[in-house]
Chains A and B, each alone.
Chain A
Amino acid sequence: MNFWKNCEELISFIEIELGIESGSISERTHFRSISVWSSINALYLMTRISEESGLFLSSAELASCETIEDIYQNLVAKLDV
């Protein structure tokens, strides 16, 4: 399993997985405002994050997130458990 050293690395991963332009999102991006965001792409992205990291966010945890930084911090918190 791999974990991203910082939020920038997670952002690069998200850009690749969603097929969006490099540099088009930042840690403060509200991910639901990403142009290709949809329920199915959200599910796809989270499955890829789980596969890559071995960490799982629940639907309730994702619902509480607003920005990509929020997702990253939720994942980091699971690393500490």
Chain B
Amino acid sequence: MSEDQYFGLHLTGIHSILGDVKIRNEEVIGDEAAAFENRTGIRDRYIVSDSVNIKDYFQKAIQKLMESQELHTSEVDILICVTQTPDIPFPSLSNRLAGALNFSTSTYCIDLNIGCSGYPYALDLVSKLTQNSTVKKNAIVCVGDFSSRLMGHDLSLKPIFSDAVTATAITYFPTNKASVFTDFLTIGAEHKAIEAVKVSDGFQMKMNGLDVFNASYKFVPQSIGSVLQKAEMKIDDVEFFVFHQANKMLTEALKRQMKLTEDKVPYSIDKFGNTAIASIPLTLQENSAKFTVGDALVLCGFGVGFSVGTILIRWSDRFKSSTIEIG
């Protein structure tokens, strides 16, 4: 068994909440919107209004997920929250939510500060925590960023990013058919590709799109190749490659580089924009009807850091609920 191989990770449900304000890019960039959509694939976006608090979105997503999963608070063993735009620096979201939702004091709660590669990281952590435990069975991974609050007046960024929070339920149930493989890369030398810079009233995102492309194009295929090697699989053995929805240009370039066929690469960017860390679970939801139990799915997130996270999972027969709502 590879050191990056785990068993028993079953995604059983996802609940997502989009920003409460739907944006059409004509309102932001006028006549250039059609050409912009052609290049980026982005048609619709959702951002949050000023009064919305990210903690409330996390709490609502988790509550709705637990209802749909018929999961009682006492049954949640692990709560992982991943965001780079928390409402306050501390206490952590997961700690506050454990209190608000009346979770057991034995629930393992942690926040991760990771960008668009964060979903595979969180699933990896769940795998590690559940693998050798006799008591940790049910986990909730809640991820999301309110990127719109970091845009300032930058018209090169504003038409791209969307706000969303998405909660995923994961159950540990050991079967060989649910084996998971992971790979993670940190290219720290490229940390300025996307960074938060100080401005008078807080922070603003600065993104060098070309550097993001360069790092993604070089390292995403490397990470995916590493996962496939660990799993002793080839590209043809994988049913779907679910990429972080950065923009269509980049995904299409990766698709061409790796010689992936159209049907293997699902999208959601047209409907939701770049929802940062939430984009992989949203893409899973948007395309879940295409997945068959046992399908091999490679989930690959990449971005801020610069970091790349890849996880190969199997679509579970236990996946039973998926809801996307507007906040």
Contacts and interface: CB of A to CB of B under 8 A. Distances in A.
Contacts of B257: 51
B74 interface: no
Interface string B184-225: 000000000000000000000000111101100110000000
Interface string A30-67: 00000010111111101100110000111100100000
Contacts of B36: 40
B214 A56 contact: yes
Interface stretch (B134-142, B171-179, B248-256): B248-256
B40 to A, nearest CB: 7
Interface of A, helix, strand, loop or mixed by DSSP = helix
Contacts of A43: 39, 209-210, 213, 249
A62 B230 CA distance: 38
Interface of B: 32, 35-36, 39-40, 156, 208-211, 213-214, 217-218, 249-250, 253, 256-257
Nearest to A39: B156
B32 A50 contact: no
A59 B211 CA distance: 6
Contacts, number: 47
Contacts of A62: 210
Contact of B40 (A36, A40, A58, A59): A40
A76 B47 CA distance: 43
Nearest to A58: B211
A69 to B, nearest CB: 19
A27 to B, nearest CB: 21
Contacts of A39: 156, 209
A42 B218 CA distance: 19
